[in-house]
Amino acid sequence: MAQRYDAIVIGGGHNGLVGGAYLARAGLRTVVLEQRHVLGGAAATEEVVPGFRFTVFSYVVSLLRPEIIRELELPRHGLAILPLDGTFTPLDDDYLWRVDDHGRTMRELRRWSRLDAEAYEEYGRLMVEMARFVKPVLSMVPPDPTVLDPRPWLPVGALARRFAELSDRQQQAFIQLMTMSSADFLDQWFETDPLKATMSASGIIGTFLGVRSPGTAYVLLHHYMGEIDGAFRAWGLPRGGTGGISNAIGAAARAFGAEVRTEARVERILVRDGRATGVVLEGGETLEADDVLSSLDPRQTFERLLEPDVLPTEARLELGRFKYRGSSGKVNLALDGLPDFRCLPGPGDHLRGAMSFSPSVDYMVRAYEDAKYGRFSRRPYVDCVIPTLTDPSMAPPGKHVMSCFVQYAPYQLAEGEGTWDDQREAFGEAVIDTIEERAPNIRSLIVGRQVLTPLDIERTIGLSEGNIFQGELTLEQLFFNRPVPGWTGFRTPLRDLWLCGSAVHPGGGIMGAPGRLAALEVLRARRDGRRGQRAEKTTSGEATGPGSGGLPGAALGGVGSAGRAARRAFDTLRDAAAAAGRGREGGTGW
Amino acid sequence: MVSGTLPTWDAIVVGGGHNGLVCAAYLARGGLRTLVLERRETVGGAAATAELEPGVRIPLVADTVGRLRPAIARDLRLHDHGLRLIAPAVRAFAPQPDGRAVTLWADVERTARDLGEWSAADAAAYPVFDARVRVFGRFLAGFGDTTPPDLHAPGLADALAGLRLGRAWRGLGTVDGRALLRALPMAVADFVGEAFESEAVRATLATRGVRYAALGPWSAGSTAHLLTDSAAPGAGAAGQTVFAVGGPGALADALAAAARAAGATIRTGEGVRRVATLDGRVQGVVLASGEEVAAPIVVSALDPKRTLLGLLDPVELGPTMVWRAGNLRLGGVVAKVDLALAGLPHFPAAGEGPTAERRLRGRILVGATSIDDLERAFDASTVGRLSDAPFLEATIPSLADPSLVVGAREPRHVMSVLVQWAPYHRREGDWDADRKRLGDLVLARLDEVAPGIGALVTARRVLTPLDLEREFGMTEGHPLHGEPGLDQWFAWRPMAGLGRYRLPVGGLYLAGSGAHPGGGITGAPGANAAREVLADRRAGLP
């Protein structure tokens, strides 16, 4: 006899856990299934070198939604975020060092350029205004732009009204942020090359784009949306590494009554009569549920866990077009001491923040050019933190761990560039060489190292092509286009199967928003469903049950005649549903 | 009021390029006493035909005119004013390193058949892809003829929320609507990559997504550029290749004739020094000669940077607008090489005989061999260098239009070559010193696909980005009056707040390619601007 739940969440990464916690909080019998022995997916802490705990994949936090922290009472479950102060950009014989202390940053910038120091303040103000304007989008369920039912558009309408009220200059800035390259955007403000390089670097993290590629400026804004204790633009290190966040969410989920299982690898999703009805675990155990939420990316969900024929051909094609293109790697170092920078020797506060190897915009462009043609950057952009300076519990006394995020490491290596399995060490060397150029003692400090290529990321935590955001965060893959145009409301063409990972709006980063929004949609659909069933008894002729996730699938027609037929079918269904929807309070959300 | 002169004019159009002429013609038809002031001795701006050697005439900058909006040609009766168009059966011909070529024909089926040589799957995909590009192109053509909405209007929210983005949007339907929204911000490499597998086919189709722009095939938004270029009658995936008999200058002449017939006056050789303003209102213009001409309406068909920073008093504009105008992205990346040839060059990839000649009548794409090859040529420009292997788009207009060389003493052909990714802003070196080197590089590049072409050259003219700026006043040499990226598009072209043809001084308008829907010989910015001027006038605004 199969175990029966109200909801099953596949994947115990931070989004899966958030989703599970919200469902359990609403009283649903919920289970979260994680294949690994640790929770957190890409937000996990592991002891890889004895005595040294690495935040293996992700390493800092900024975007975790405050409402999640509040609603799940995460601090009570052990969440503590320690501030990460400053960004240090080492150069050959100089450096650029920005800290939270406004006066010090101003003095430092004036040393480089008086104009830039002035512009920096104005820039900061504008970005905070922009972040405030755009933040509601993070808690919005994207509507389908081709559906004329106005209800899902209401929140967007509110946003549009606020947009209309912005000044020309603010409108301009918003549009530019959505469309420009980060370097071009910053060129308008600043002249100091290492400043532009370091700031623009945040625009390329996790994407297969360069600092001069249009579309990267958006991520600059993403970073101003980060909020810790109400302070915009703050980055932090979770105590115990990013795994500390996952463990806190996991504890919250358990406290709300969810079952959270590790080493429970889902083998496949059960489908009956065109609905997802449960999962089969490795080993044969079967779990059943009304709703199945996958926090895995769509490729893992639909290609590994389901038979190809559950999706109509067009939907399969469209899903195949969703771009992953992992571009980042990670090098974790266990160190015997602290790195000593040639440009600023000795220990000091500059080691306590982020150390960004981004000396010039051209350097960043060259790093990208390597990747464009299928090789890892010989001189990569590296963003390092030494969490042990903030949280000494991560390593034995006097020892340190250094977490190095590296870009670019293209998942797909060109012909003649070998395979990632035989390039792993060379890649690690390129990273250490890059650091060594500016901190010559680094090599002698290393007592253990872990090199993670995009292939390793894919193999270990199941992120397709090693993309840390479960799919590129490019404009055509954001908002209502994420992951597939027309799959709105976190639904998939398979009824009762939902997506709740970074592959759905609003995307990646340790944010938790996809997990929360998807869970809230599931809950809403269940409420509407009950209402719908009641309504069905009194009024006959309701064509489609509310929350019927199958509908978007019918809309995924192509240009062929089959596509047109599907489209007509969809239009008919939509009209019927809209007509039915008018008779109810609330809506089906699509 | 400009002293001492009575306002004999209702409107002055600064710049007699194609958009200025279109705008003037519509204004004159609307009953306005209209004066066009052109700095050069001939009208047309970049739509010009010039003599390269005695009796040999060649398109000076732009070489084709197929994107001209049909409504404009109809309204202004350009045919009656002498405009004759020729559309060869071939659209584009892209020689490949292995000696073959990708050929795009006007005839979709024929193209698909030919693509079968590269890939059966691509041959099958082509008609579907072409149909989709046509649907998008039609939508964008209508979109281009529309004045963008006011981004501050309270109704904007309702428009978005209720999705009343117009009948055209609904006409697109669910599938195409979604596909268009997904396609616009895409990199053209992805757009073609999703449909085709052969690198040669992908590159050939992708070139229109980067032409004239500081975009590479992997740049987001290059698909929007490709689709905007496809907003021309019958363009489709192959793009249009339509010549005006007598070269683009003949279009300019027809437009000038139409404007004059409608009552406009055109004065050439009259540069405008500045726009005269008083209390935030236009008073007229001051000519280079110092002469003052009064008018309550001034329409600038110059690029927005030159208009705002060159013609207006910075005090009038205010520091914020000056800063924003200074940040307009205009860095041009194209150069032009015009060649007179003693005979038709031999392209081995075109085959032999009359068929070969037919393949050469459209756009000849040199370097459209793979997406990576295009991207590499683009890479150099991002660090301020000219690529060693630039992408070239050449036409031999004398094949379709022998009238260009009918006056030559010896048999001649002319070849018009666009050099893509020759950046105006260079890290080192200067264009004046490198003009010859650029010409030589282009000939060496052409020699790869047309061996021996160098020996045929009897005359050549090289227009560097710097020359484009000096000769045609295109700031920073940008032929589109501003980058066509999505950050300078639609209601925010040239910038947010100025997207409705009205500039921040009362009575001053923008009618050039720096306004929606952007560059290329469409006439749409000029026509749209004229409509807005007339609407304001009807409303009693100026």
Q: C-alpha distances in angstroms, A579 versus A487, A553, A582, A585, B28?
A: 21, 20, 5, 12, 52
Q: Can you say whether residue B294 is alpha, beta or left, with left for phi > 0 and alpha for psi between -120 and 50 degrees?
A: beta
Give me the phi and psi of A373, to 5 degrees please.
-100, 20
Interface probe, candidates B134, B135, B158, B182, chain A, greatest A C-beta count within 10 A: B182
Radius of gyration of chain A (CA): 24
Least confident among A94-98, A302-306, B172-176: B172-176
Question: How much is the pLDDT for A35?
Answer: 97
Spell out the alpha helix ranges (H) of A502-550.
Answer: 513-538
Q: Does A27 touch chain B (CB under 8 A)?
A: no
Give the model confidence (pLDDT) of A6-52 as tens digits: 999 999 999 999 999 999 999 999 999 999 999 999 999 999 999 99
User: CA–CA separation, B158 vs B165, rounded Å?
Assistant: 10
Give the model confidence (pLDDT) of B274-290 as tens digits: 999 999 999 999 999 99
Q: Pick the residue from chain A with its C-alpha nearest to B171.
A: A146
Check whether A252 has a pLDDT greater than 60: yes
How does strand A3-10 pair with strand A236-238? unpaired
Contact, B280 vs B505, CB < 8 A?
yes
Q: What is the mean pLDDT of residues B39-64?
A: 96
Task: Map residue A546 onto helix, strand or coil.
Answer: coil
Question: Facing residues of B300 across strands?
Answer: B14, B510
Contacts of B186 in chain A (CB under 8 A): 474, 476
Contact, A207 vs A478, CB < 8 A?
no
Contact, A39 vs A21, CB < 8 A?
no
Give the model confidence (pLDDT) of A75-114 as tens digits: 999 999 888 888 999 999 999 999 888 899 999 999 999 9
Least confident among A104-118, A471-485, B483-497: A471-485
Write down the residue that tokens 């070198």 correspond to: A49
Question: How much is the pLDDT for A531?
Answer: 64
Give the model confidence (pLDDT) of A128-141 as tens digits: 899 889 888 888 89
Question: How much is the pLDDT for A587?
Answer: 25
Closest CA to B140 of B105, B171, B104: B171
Q: Can you say whether residue A243 is alpha, beta or left, with left for phi > 0 and alpha for psi between -120 and 50 degrees?
A: alpha
Interface of A with B in 525-564 (CB under 8 A): 555-560, 563-564
Question: How much is the pLDDT for B405?
Answer: 97
User: CA–CA separation, A298 vs A97, rounded Å?
Assistant: 40
Question: How much is the pLDDT for B500?
Answer: 94
The model's confidence at residue A234, banded by pLDDT at 50, 70 and 90, is low
CB contact under 8 A, B185 and A179: yes
CB contact under 8 A, B497 and A147: no
DSSP collapsed to 3 states, B92-141 = EEEECCCCCEEEEECCHHHHHHHHCCCCHHHHHHHHHHHHHHHHHHHHHH
The count of CB pairs under 8 A between chains A and B is: 150
Q: Which of A164, A172, A567 minimises the CB distance to B157?
A: A164
Give the model confidence (pLDDT) of B416-472 as tens digits: 999 999 999 999 999 999 999 999 999 999 999 999 999 999 999 999 999 999 999
The model's confidence at residue A559, banded by pLDDT at 50, 70 and 90, is very low
Q: Can you give the length of chain A in residues? A: 590
Q: What is the mean pLDDT of residues B352-369?
A: 95
Mean pLDDT, chain A, as a whole number? 87
Contact, B302 vs B311, CB < 8 A?
yes
Contact, A331 vs A431, CB < 8 A?
yes
Question: How much is the pLDDT for A535?
Answer: 53
Q: Can you say whether residue B532 is alpha, beta or left, with left for phi > 0 and alpha for psi between -120 and 50 degrees?
A: alpha
How does strand A354-357 pair with strand A381-385? antiparallel
A558/A283: higher pLDDT:
A283
Question: How much is the pLDDT for A569?
Answer: 41
Q: Which of A160, A215, A557 minimises the CB distance to B185?
A: A215
Q: What is the mean pLDDT of residues B179-187?
A: 93
Interface of A with B in 338-367 (CB under 8 A): 362, 365
CB contact under 8 A, B162 and A175: no
Interface probe, candidates B108, B163, B317, B322, chain A, greatest A C-beta count within 10 A: B163
Q: What is the mean pLDDT of residues B21-32?
A: 98
User: CA–CA separation, B239 vs B64, rounded Å?
Assistant: 11
Q: Can you give the length of chain B in residues? A: 542
Task: Map residue B220 onto helix, strand or coil.
Answer: strand
Query: How close, in Å, is residue B207 to chain A by CA atoms?
Result: 17
Contacts of A571 in chain B (CB under 8 A): 174
Task: Map residue B338 onto helix, strand or coil.
Answer: strand
- Amino acid identity, position B236: G
Contacts of A365 in chain B (CB under 8 A): 382-383
Contact, B87 vs B66, CB < 8 A?
yes
Contact, B255 vs B25, CB < 8 A?
yes
Question: How much is the pLDDT for B210?
Answer: 97
User: CA–CA separation, A208 vs A410, rounded Å?
Assistant: 8
Give the model confidence (pLDDT) of A418-456 as tens digits: 999 999 999 999 999 999 999 999 999 999 999 999 999
Q: Which of A168, A184, A557 minimises the CB distance to B496?
A: A168
Contact, A412 vs A372, CB < 8 A?
no
Tokens matching residue B324? 């924003």
Contacts of A160 in chain B (CB under 8 A): 156-157, 159-161
- Amino acid identity, position B167: R
CB contact under 8 A, A153 and B486: no
Check whether A61 has a pLDDT greater than 90: no
Q: What is the mean pLDDT of residues A402-413?
A: 97
Query: How close, in Å, is residue B314 to chain A by CA atoms?
Result: 17
User: CA–CA separation, A301 vs A303, rounded Å?
Assistant: 6
Question: How much is the pLDDT for A571?
Answer: 41
Contact, A570 vs A590, CB < 8 A?
no
Question: How much is the pLDDT for A52?
Answer: 97
Q: What is the mean pLDDT of residues B224-231?
A: 96
CB contact under 8 A, A475 and B220: yes
Mean pLDDT, chain B, as a whole number? 94
Q: C-alpha distances in angstroms, A53 versus A43, A385, A405, A468?
A: 13, 14, 16, 20
CB contact under 8 A, A144 and B178: yes
Contacts of A153 in chain B (CB under 8 A): 160-163
Non-local (6+) Cβ contacts of B279 within 8 A are none
Contact, B340 vs B460, CB < 8 A?
yes
Contacts of B131 in chain A (CB under 8 A): 559
Helix (H) / strand (E) element for B285: namely strand B281-287
Question: How much is the pLDDT for B167?
Answer: 66
pTM of the full structure: 0.91
**What is the percent of chain A with per-residue pLDDT over 90, rounded to a whole number?**
71
CB contact under 8 A, A158 and B157: yes
The DSSP-derived string for B20-52 is HHHHHHHHHHTT--EEEEESSSSSBTTS-EEEE
Contacts of A151 in chain B (CB under 8 A): none
Q: Which of A175, A369, A570 minimises the CB distance to B174?
A: A570
DSSP B447: H
Longest CA–CA span in chain B (Å) reads 74
Task: Map residue B457 onto helix, strand or coil.
Answer: strand
Query: How close, in Å, is residue A562 to chain B by CA atoms?
Result: 12
Contacts of B182 in chain A (CB under 8 A): 476, 481, 485
Q: Does A369 touch chain B (CB under 8 A)?
A: yes
Task: Map residue B341 onto helix, strand or coil.
Answer: strand
Non-local (6+) Cβ contacts of A258 within 8 A are A20, A21, A23, A24, A30, A31, A32
| Angle, alpha carbons A582-A585-A587 (nearest 5°) | 70
B516/A565: higher pLDDT:
B516
